[in-house]
């Protein structure tokens, strides 16, 4: 008997199933929330995890068995990008489905203004149980948009608030052990959910955010095994810094495993869309806050066993602002006009038709002043540095790291090669262009090369059109640095809690 009719029949059933699913929720009209057929959502968000620092994205040395399993049961996105490599602006962008400069929360620690819409509130309105557990970092106005907020204490992660006495102090740790992961309430909110309602959980870790400590893992990563990019010096201190970062990734992975296990216990696996990603890149110099892929690329994994083909990989470009309209579409709700991302449910169905040709990202004030923008297509990245007179200083936590200290030491000794020196360069090029295919670490700026003039012209035009489309304004004032660029110590400009954008405008620190 020929075998192929069986496969054709199976394929037909599968196709019918997935197309009906991706349409059926849109037909639901009831808003009461008692419906059981709307999908649940669990978003797990890592804090400062580089896109390629888990097994499923190519790192064979870091121990991430649970994330690897999640990937083997779902879809990995090889071309997923954040709109910012900075914690709170990136989160604000994901939740509002808007670029950072459209959120009013584009600088680090600026709260999301109450005028902004975030997609979880739409789900709550429709009867979902909507909970956040772990790192909050969204501002006071957003709390009421969730049914439950179980915020982790991050005071131990705050750098000193001011200069002067105590400014040299280390972090004032307020927690220890697993409590520092930000993940200890994840399973609890899943257990406490209303079983009658569909649920949306925003589970935000603090791992692998700095500071790091030894002995957090029963199986610590050997420093000699870590994988270093060419722009970091290969020294013992740098390797130890990386090994501790890997240990925190492993701790995060353990909590991901507990959530997946709890979903299984609750028999909620099939109808729950599990989404994993990071808010920004690795907390090392030239990674976090940068617009290079090591800053803005994210290890996006989406699992939905009944709908998404296991162990699949999507090679199309997606942006973090696409998550909001995608999640709303899967739940059966049209995204309103405030959401500027593009739904990619077709990619989840396994179609390989692009939903976008390029992604855009921005760098704004983060501990230090800076303003850069990036456009990335499948092959090229264009970056424009509006404050090219300033060096691309790493964020203060990375600037206080052993890795940066080693870079400073080697530089003082005249031993730091050019490929590892870009953080110190001032002025730096106003424009950067990279061929990601030939140069994945973005070390060779080809912006001035005649052979790439057409690409430069094309991406410049894309950037200009994006500015017009998203109504980006050029700031008339610069925001003061809150840390010294050499020592990483706080300046008098550092006030905690940080003022909102509105208050900074009122006080004349920035201009509208
Ligand atoms: Ca972060």
Average pLDDT, the chain: 91
3 alpha carbon to ligand 1 midpoint, in Å? 51
Q: Please give the Cα distance from 285 to 233 (Å, whole number).
A: 11
90 alpha carbon to ligand 1 midpoint, in Å? 8
Local confidence band at 157 (pLDDT 50, 70, 90 cut-offs): low
Question: What is the tens place of the pLDDT at every residue in 197-236?
Answer: 999 999 999 999 999 999 899 899 999 999 999 999 999 9
Question: What is the tens place of the pLDDT at every residue in 359-394?
Answer: 999 999 999 999 999 999 999 999 999 999 999 999
pLDDT for 488 equals 78
173 alpha carbon to ligand 1 midpoint, in Å? 18
pLDDT for 34 equals 46
289 alpha carbon to ligand 1 midpoint, in Å? 9
Closest CA to 329 of 123, 470, 127: 123
Q: Please give the Cα distance from 180 to 128 (Å, whole number).
A: 29
462 alpha carbon to ligand 1 midpoint, in Å? 28
pLDDT for 352 equals 87
pLDDT for 26 equals 36
Q: Please give the Cα distance from 181 to 135 (Å, whole number).
A: 9
Cβ neighbors of 350 (< 8 A, separation 6 or more) are 18, 309, 312
366 alpha carbon to ligand 1 midpoint, in Å? 11
22 alpha carbon to ligand 1 midpoint, in Å? 32
> Across residues 1-22, what is the average pLDDT?
45
DSSP strand pairing (380-385 vs 372-376): antiparallel
pLDDT for 28 equals 41
204 alpha carbon to ligand 1 midpoint, in Å? 10
pLDDT for 379 equals 98
pLDDT for 162 equals 53
Local confidence band at 463 (pLDDT 50, 70, 90 cut-offs): very high
279 alpha carbon to ligand 1 midpoint, in Å? 5
332 alpha carbon to ligand 1 midpoint, in Å? 30
pLDDT at 17 over 50: no
pLDDT at 165 over 60: no
pLDDT at 350 over 90: yes
32 alpha carbon to ligand 1 midpoint, in Å? 36
Question: What is the tens place of the pLDDT at every residue in 395-418?
Answer: 999 999 999 999 999 999 999 999
Angle at 501 between CA 500 and CA 506, to 5 degrees: 95
Structure tokens at 125: 């309105």
Share of the chain above pLDDT 70, in %: 89
Each as own residue / partner, the long-range contacts of residues 57-64 (CB below 8 Å, 24 or more positions apart, any chain) are 57/299, 59/227, 61/221, 61/225, 61/226, 61/227, 61/246, 62/221, 62/246, 62/249, 62/250, 63/219, 63/221, 63/246, 63/249, 63/250, 63/253, 64/249, 64/250, 64/253
280 alpha carbon to ligand 1 midpoint, in Å? 5
343 alpha carbon to ligand 1 midpoint, in Å? 24
Residue-by-residue DSSP string for 373-437: EEEE-SSEEEEEETTTTS--PPPHHHHTSHHHHHHHHHHHTT---GGG-GGG-SS--SEEEEETT
Of 151-165, 224-238, 242-256, 276-290, the poorest mean pLDDT is in 151-165
5/151: higher pLDDT: 151
pLDDT for 154 equals 76
pLDDT for 171 equals 52
pLDDT at 58 over 80: yes
Question: What is the tens place of the pLDDT at every residue in 288-343?
Answer: 999 999 999 999 999 999 899 999 999 999 999 999 999 999 999 999 999 999 99
Each as own residue / partner, the long-range contacts of residues 144-149 (CB below 8 Å, 24 or more positions apart, any chain) are 145/118, 145/120, 145/121, 146/120, 146/202, 148/189, 148/192
pLDDT for 159 equals 61
Question: What is the tens place of the pLDDT at every residue in 23-57?
Answer: 444 334 344 444 458 999 999 999 999 999 999 99
């Amino acid at each position: 008997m020929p075998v192929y009719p069986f496969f054709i029949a199976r394929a037909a059933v599968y196709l019918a199933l997935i197309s009906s699913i991706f349409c059926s929720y849109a037909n639901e009209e009831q808003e009461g929330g008692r419906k059981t057929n709307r999908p649940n959502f669990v978003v797990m968000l890592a804090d400062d995890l580089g896109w390629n620092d888990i097994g499923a994205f190519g790192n064979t040395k870091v121990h991430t068995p649970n994330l690897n399993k999640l990937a083997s049961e779902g879809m990995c996105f090889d071309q997923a990008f954040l709109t910012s490599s900075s914690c709170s602006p990136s989160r604000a962008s994901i939740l509002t489905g808007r670029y950072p400069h459209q959120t009013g929360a584009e600088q680090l620690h600026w709260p999301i203004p109450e005028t902004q819409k975030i997609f979880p509130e739409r789900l709550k309105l429709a009867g979902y149980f909507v909970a956040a557990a772990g790192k909050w970092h969204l501002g006071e106005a957003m709390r009421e948009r969730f049914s439950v907020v179980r915020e982790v204490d991050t005071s131990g992660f705050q750098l000193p608030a001011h200069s002067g006495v105590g400014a040299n102090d280390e972090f004032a740790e307020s927690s220890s052990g697993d409590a520092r992961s930000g993940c200890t309430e994840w399973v609890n909110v899943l257990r406490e959910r209303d079983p009658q309602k569909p649920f949306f959980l925003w589970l935000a870790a603090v791992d692998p955010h700095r500071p790091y400590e030894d002995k957090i893992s029963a199986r610590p990563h050997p420093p000699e095994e870590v994988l270093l990019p060419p722009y970091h010096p290969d020294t013992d201190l740098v390797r130890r810094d990386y090994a501790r970062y890997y240990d925190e990734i492993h701790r995060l992975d353990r909590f991901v495993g507990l959530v997946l296990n709890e979903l299984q216990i609750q028999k909620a696996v099939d109808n729950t869309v599990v989404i994993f990603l990071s808010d920004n890149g690795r907390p090392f110099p030239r990674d976090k806050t940068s617009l290079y892929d090591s800053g803005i690329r994210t290890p996006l994994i989406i699992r939905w066993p009944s709908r998404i083909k296991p162990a699949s990989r999507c090679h199309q470009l997606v942006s973090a602002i696409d998550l909001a309209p995608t999640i709303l579409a899967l739940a059966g709700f049209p995204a309103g006009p405030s959401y500027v991302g593009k739904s990619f449910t077709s990619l989840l169905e396994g179609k390989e038709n692009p939903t976008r040709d390029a992604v855009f990202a921005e760098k704004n004030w983060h501990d230090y002043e800076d303003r850069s923008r990036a456009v990335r297509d499948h092959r090229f990245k264009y970056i424009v540095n509006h404050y090219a007179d300033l060096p691309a200083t790493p964020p203060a936590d990375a600037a206080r790291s052993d890795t940066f200290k080693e870079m400073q030491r080697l530089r003082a000794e005249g031993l730091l090669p050019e490929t590892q020196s870009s953080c110190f360069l001032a002025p730096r090029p106003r424009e950067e262009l990279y061929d990601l295919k030939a140069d994945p670490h973005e070390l060779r700026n080809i912006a001035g090369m005649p052979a790439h003039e057409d690409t430069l012209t094309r991406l410049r035009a894309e950037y200009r059109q994006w500015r017009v489309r998203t109504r980006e304004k050029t700031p008339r004032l610069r925001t003061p640095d809150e840390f010294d660029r050499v020592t990483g110590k706080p300046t008098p400009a550092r006030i905690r809690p940080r003022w909102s954008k509105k208050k900074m405008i009122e006080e004349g620190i920035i201009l509208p």
